[in-house]
Chain A
Amino acid sequence: MNTALRQMRVLIRYEFSDALRTRRVILVMILFSATLLASFHFSIRLLHRMENQLAEMMELPASEVAGATTEALWQSERFRNIVERMTGDRDVVRELMDISPIALMFGGLSFFFTPLLVLLTCAPRISSEVSDGSARYALVRTSRLNWVLSKLAGQALLIMLALVLCAVGAWIMAWFQTVGGRSFSTGMDMLTFSLKAWVKGFAFLGLALGVSQCMRSPNLATAVSFVAWIGLAVLYNLSESRVGEGMARLWDLGLLLTPGGHQADLWRTNPVWLIPSVLYMLGLGFLYFFIGFIRFRRKDL
């Protein structure tokens, strides 16, 4: 056990330093921040426009900075509908009324983009080293399980770092561009959402690395990961629409085994809903990952 832990520590450290050396970490950061922060910026502008339209309707002077009428907007049914569409659950919206709408906006964007970015950056991680043979140097020194688990841990830490930095970047952006962003609680809410997005991302990281363990070509691994993602989304939507009584209860399995089935509860602040959702997401990540490992364990490299 000690040997395995020691080897994993060495492997994770190498994974991190390799990411720095290869500038892969920069690529991940740029991808995450460009996608999340740019879309956040445009969302703030959209919010600002909506605020001004609302002010115009109410014959009030337009605000220079977004967020001046957010509180009023936040109470409006129209805005509730928008958030409801983003989260897909009215109960969740009500529970989230305590959270800054700017932070919620960041949460929605990070929930939406994280799976995409995770699949894009992580799917080739294992298959690329298997295909160029460099994995062999490590695999005569450590077990396959240690090696792939270290990849999982290394990538998970890297994504967490990217999301936390994005949250900080988004908070700074919100600070200068919105009224509601100028509070510590908004920053903390954004940070919380970045961690929740990481939890959701972990399920997709497991999926990406699970696929990567089965593929020899990095490009194929990325493509198959996306196909698997679409497959899970289709399964979730089918399950959600068909679940019912009797045999239709079996569709519950579809909800249980797809990230979509647990995503709504990640919006909750109540731990009764939040904790099981977090555990399910992490569990799904490990499940997808170890399904890949069953193949990788005996695979000819």
Chain B
Amino acid sequence: MTPVLKTEGLVKRFGRRKALDGLTLSIPGGTITGLVGSNGAGKTTLFSVVTGILSQDSGTIDLFGEGPFDPELHSGRVALLPQDASLPREASVKGLLEYYAELQGLSREEAGRQIPEIIADVHLTERANDRIRSLSHGMRKRVMIAQALIGEPELILLDEPLNGLDPREVAHMRNILRNRKPGQSMIISSHNLDEIERLCNRVIFMEHGRLVLMSGIRELTGQGHLLRYELKGTPPLDLLRRRMPEAEFEYEEREGLLSCRYSEDMYNEAEVNRVALRALLDEGVDILSVRRGSELESEYLRRSPQRAETGKTDKASSGASTDILPQAGRNR
């Protein structure tokens, strides 16, 4: 599929500091990509440069294969939820969204049809005619999300979209973002890795303005080829290896974690569980939890930021099998 966003050697300096340092990445269409990195990694700068809010010092940006962001060409096709931008305080929720809709080219009729739906989606129907200044922080955040959904843009850039929302609204917004139009792409910057794991199908790790890793979440965390069992007691490794000779078993005694790596061609999750759980129970080992793959957080901590600093990220050490692109060393 044609990438919706490609950057090549993107550099953005603020004084002497490089916020983006030769960033090269490619986002396939129709994906939800999580952008993860520590504070100052360059995530917000990337969004701002992609949407023309900031100008890059060097490098190229290509949106939909049509070149860099052009408000005339991409109005309504690219949406942005900036992290630190206020909404006009005196506008009403409905009035503001209608203004943005008309500005990006929606007809009055189309805006009149879409806006009430979007307002209902973000649970603000009862406050539709209220001014922004009268809304709580969380409600304003929902208006910010709503403005990014107007006109079903092809690419939506969301910078910390769920920050400041209550747990119920977080769950609701997650559903809204998941149920996107087919083919629509999103890039979500967040520090909440659990959120990224639940929402996204791809992830990018960034540090110091450079790409550390770019991968499918499933491939990165080993979902589909890794099961982890939290145990109380020592597992019968010999027995497990005999019963599933094609799988690899490792036991971390200190944490009581048994890992089973398997090939999806040989086994499926249910088969692995059936054999492994039976063997463990037969040997009287207590099973405290079972988890598919590793956590995104642990993968992030494994690979970043030390790996970025030393430039040692590589396929062999990652344990993941797909398109992980070690770039940190190249960018120096």
Binding site for B on A (CB under 8 A): 3-4, 6-7, 10-11, 14, 17-18, 21-22, 129, 132-134, 136-144, 146, 298, 300-301
User: Do residues A139 and B91 form an inter-chain contact, with CB atoms below 8 A?
Assistant: no
| Docked CA distance A4–B82 (Å) | 24
Q: Mark B162-204, 1 if CB is under 8 A from A, else 0.
A: 0000000000000000000000000000000000000000000
Given contacts A10-B103, A298-B55, A301-B54, contact A137 B71 (CB under 8 A): no
> Residue of B at shortest CB range from A138?
B103
User: Do residues B85 and A140 form an inter-chain contact, with CB atoms below 8 A?
Assistant: no
Kindly provide the distance from the CB of A299 to the nearest chain B CB, expressed in whole angstroms: 8
| Docked CA distance A129–B71 (Å) | 18
Given contacts A140-B51, A140-B71, A141-B75, contact A10 B85 (CB under 8 A): no
Q: Mark B35-52, 1 if CB is under 8 A from A, else 0.
A: 000000000000010011
Report the count of interface residues on B (CB-CB < 8 A): 32
Contacting residue for A142 out of B55, B75, B82, B89, CB 8 A: B75
> Residue of B at shortest CB range from A11?
B103
User: Do residues B90 and A134 form an inter-chain contact, with CB atoms below 8 A?
Assistant: no
**Can you offer 27 A-B residue contacts whose CB atoms are under 8 A?**
A3-B75, A11-B103, A14-B99, A14-B103, A21-B90, A21-B91, A22-B89, A22-B90, A132-B86, A134-B86, A134-B88, A136-B53, A136-B80, A137-B100, A137-B147, A138-B103, A139-B52, A140-B52, A140-B53, A140-B69, A140-B79, A141-B71, A141-B76, A142-B103, A146-B71, A298-B55, A300-B55
Question: Across the A-B interface, how many residue pairs have beta carbons closer than 8 Å?
Answer: 78
Note all chain B residues with C-beta closer than 8 A to A133. 82, 84-86
Task: Taking A133-B86, A137-B85 as given, write out 16 further A-B residue pairs in contact, using a Cβ cutoff of 8 Å, ordered by the A residue number.
Answer: A10-B99, A22-B89, A134-B85, A136-B53, A136-B80, A136-B85, A137-B80, A137-B82, A137-B147, A140-B52, A140-B71, A140-B78, A141-B103, A142-B103, A143-B72, A301-B54
> Residue of B at shortest CB range from A4?
B72
Residues of B69-112 contacting chain A, CB below 8 A: 69, 71-72, 75-76, 78-80, 82, 84-91, 95, 99-100, 102-105
Note all chain B residues with C-beta closer than 8 A to A3. 72, 75, 105
> Residue of A at shortest CB range from B153?
A140
Given contacts A7-B103, A21-B91, A134-B87, contact A142 B71 (CB under 8 A): yes
Note all chain A residues with C-beta closer than 8 A to B88. 18, 129, 134
User: Do residues B71 and A143 form an inter-chain contact, with CB atoms below 8 A?
Assistant: yes
| Docked CA distance A134–B132 (Å) | 12
Given contacts A11-B103, A18-B88, contact A300 B71 (CB under 8 A): no
> Residue of A at shortest CB range from B104?
A141
| Docked CA distance A138–B54 (Å) | 15
> Residue of A at shortest CB range from B84?
A133
Note all chain A residues with C-beta closer than 8 A to B48. 300
Kindly provide the distance from the CB of A235 to the nearest chain B CB, expressed in whole angstroms: 32
User: Do residues A18 and B90 form an inter-chain contact, with CB atoms below 8 A?
Assistant: yes
> Residue of B at shortest CB range from A129?
B88
| Docked CA distance A136–B86 (Å) | 9
Note all chain B residues with C-beta closer than 8 A to A300. 48, 53-55
| Docked CA distance A108–B199 (Å) | 66
Note all chain A residues with C-beta closer than 8 A to B147. 137
Note all chain A residues with C-beta closer than 8 A to B76. 141
Kindly provide the distance from the CB of B72 to the nearest chain A CB, expressed in whole angstroms: 6
Note all chain B residues with C-beta closer than 8 A to A142. 71, 75, 103
User: Do residues A301 and B75 form an inter-chain contact, with CB atoms below 8 A?
Assistant: no
User: Do residues A137 and B87 form an inter-chain contact, with CB atoms below 8 A?
Assistant: yes
Most chain B Cβ neighbours within 10 Å, of A11, A14, A138: A14
> Residue of A at shortest CB range from B76?
A141
Kindly provide the distance from the CB of A247 to the nearest chain B CB, expressed in whole angstroms: 41
Note all chain B residues with C-beta closer than 8 A to A4. 72
Note all chain B residues with C-beta closer than 8 A to A143. 71-72
> Residue of A at shortest CB range from B82?
A136
> Residue of B at shortest CB range from A297?
B55
| Docked CA distance A6–B100 (Å) | 13
